[in-house]
Amino acid sequence: MKKGQQALYDIITLLEKSKELPAYKFQEDLCLEIPDNPEHWTSKEVLKDILLNKKSQVGDKYKKFGFHFDIGINDAFLSSMFQLVDEEYDKERRNNILSEEFQYIGISFTKIDKKFCVYILFAN
């Protein structure tokens, strides 16, 4: 973490000031297929195709989407914490997680050797 402990204090302060959000409803149809080749996990073109295909599959069922991914963390608690601190992605991941706009979530996970990939698709 770039800001170290200060980043953790910042997210604690933000969460203390935030109102409680309802739990997301897991939707199987929001799960995404993760490519077999780890080199494709973060490819903008591959991700664009995956997301466009998913939107086509679900049709008009959902009106708004948010997406992000996480690579390399094998501990769900730590992964979630780093996504909330979110220093690397201009707060996009934090904003997705804490958004009042999204009600539904699809979470996809894969592991190849020692590499991990999680795709998270939010929808409303």
- The pLDDT confidence band at residue 83, using thresholds 50, 70 and 90, is low
The CATH number assigned to the domain holding 21 equals 3.40.33.10
Count of the separate structural domains present in the chain: 1
Determine the average pLDDT of the residues in 67-91: 68
In 3D space, the residue among 18, 46, 17 whose CA is nearest the CA of residue 32 turns out to be 46
User: Are the beta carbons of 92 and 103 closer than 8 angstroms?
Assistant: no
* Gap between the Cα atoms of 4 and 87, Å rounded: 10
CA 100 to chain centre: 15
Residues composing the chain:
124
Contact between 1 and 7 (Cβ < 8 Å): yes
User: Residue 100: which domain range?
Assistant: 5-123
| Residue 94 and residue 20 in contact, taking contact as beta carbons nearer than 8 Å | no
End-to-end CA gap in the chain: 31
- Read off the pTM: 0.80
pLDDT digits (tens, 9 = 90+) for 2-45: 566 777 777 677 777 878 888 999 999 999 999 999 999 999 99
pLDDT value at residue 75 = 65
88-123, pLDDT tens digit by residue? Answer: 555 777 788 888 899 999 999 998 888 889 899 999
